[in-house]
Amino acid sequence: MYPKIQIKLSGIIENVKRTKELCKQNGISLAVVTKLLADNREIVQAIVESGVDYICDSRIQNLISYKDINTEKWLIRSPSNDEIPDVIRYADASLNSEIETIKKLNAEAKKQGKTHKVILMYELGDLREGCLKPELEEIAGEALHLSNIELYGVGVNLSCYGEIVPSEKNMKELEEVVLELERKYNIKFKMVSGGNSSSFNMMKNGRLPNSINNLRMGEAIYLGNIPCFEEKIDEFNQDNFIVKAEIIELKEKPSVPWGECGLSNSFGEHSTFTDRGTRKRAIIGLGKQDVKLEGITPLDEGIIILGGSSDHIILDVSDSEKQYKVGDIIEFMPNYAGVLSCMTSKYVQKEIVR
């Protein structure tokens, strides 16, 4: 059935193994981020069986689904209050930046008779989650006195919101903060997590400071791409996901709508149109409810994505060398946003190819 996203599992596993080997050569443990997979147990199980150190996800619901998969699991989005019981029950560690949340995790861990690992997040400029230095020191001091919390380490996030990339300068700052905390409290962190796939090249080239011993990576593994730099990784598979949708209408129509215009379309957007005359337009059974339009590129270079609505995408196929007909399948190469949206949509079939 269509639409579907075809997933080449062997390509993902090859990328996992190559990433793990590079990490091992550079003294880095690998936490594979599974959120892109949107609770696909078959793929996550295969990733764990390939020998990764940890898996991490931003949704506790996904970690619950993986409860019988034998590996250490991290929640990488700070938990909300109502998630805390499940976080203690199903996550071995979580990333946190609020002391009140850590205290609640401690109380729940005590109730469940467990010790929960906490990685404190430090703000390095990307302006998503994380504490500035004075608060980080204060939270670390308090967390060390909580009976059922293990202060596992310090982590940072880069490139996801503010497009700030890892550099010698900010990675050195992370190391200095970690060493200061260790001296101040006479401790040794087990985990110093220096970011995500955007740190791939620094890791590969041995440019990460010695104190950094972990990376949380997803995009490099799934798409063979380094985010923020938009750089393809040599020898990694980049075609692990293909989006496929069926043509449900094919007609020649004018390229500009006619009639009285309202203020916006069904998504509250105001559109502009270029008059290119009468064009051959294909509609496929895939829409904005299923995929981020800017996140997919037609494999047929003669196709232009004109736009779409919740359930339809409109294509200009006039310049294609292929003579399409209703029922034909159009294929797209998705980027990270394209894969994430398709994997999340229950209306897009997932076809795993081994």
What is d(CA 66, CA 271) in angstroms, rounded to the nearest whole number?
Answer: 43
Cβ neighbours of residue 10 under 8 Å, at least 6 residues apart?
Answer: 353, 354
What's the gap between Cα 127 and its chain centre? 17
35 labelled catalytic: yes
Instruction: Name residue 129's amino acid.
Output: E
- In this structure, the strands spanning 93-96 and 116-122 are parallel
**How, if at all, do strands 241-254 and 278-284 pair?**
antiparallel
Peptide bond into 134 cis (omega under 30): no
- As a whole number of Å, the CA-based R_g of the chain is 23
Q: Are 243 and 296 in contact (CB under 8 A)?
A: yes
Please report, for residues 33, 102, 189, the alpha-carbon distance to residue 75 in angstroms, rounded to integers and kept in the order given.
10, 13, 18
Amino acid at 195: G
Q: Looking at 35, 190, 280, 288, which residue is catalytic?
A: 35
CA 136 to chain centre: 25
> Is there a contact between 43 and 352 (Cβ–Cβ < 8 Å)?
yes
Q: What is the 3-state secondary structure (H, E, C) of 223-261?
A: HCEECCCCEECCCCCCCCEEEEEEEEEEEEEECCCCCCC
Residues 6+ away with beta carbon under 8 Å from 88: 105, 108, 109, 112, 114, 116
Distance, in Å, from the CA atom of 331 to the CA atom of 160, rounded to the nearest integer, reads 28
Both structure tokens of 220: 């490099």
- Please state, in angstroms and rounded to a whole number, the distance separating the CA atoms of residues 223 and 230: 11
Cα separation, 140 vs 152, in Å, equals 10
The H or E element that residue 36 is part of is: none
Q: Of the candidates 43, 41, 38, which has an alpha carbon nearest to the alpha carbon of residue 8?
A: 43
Write out the catalytic residue numbers: 35
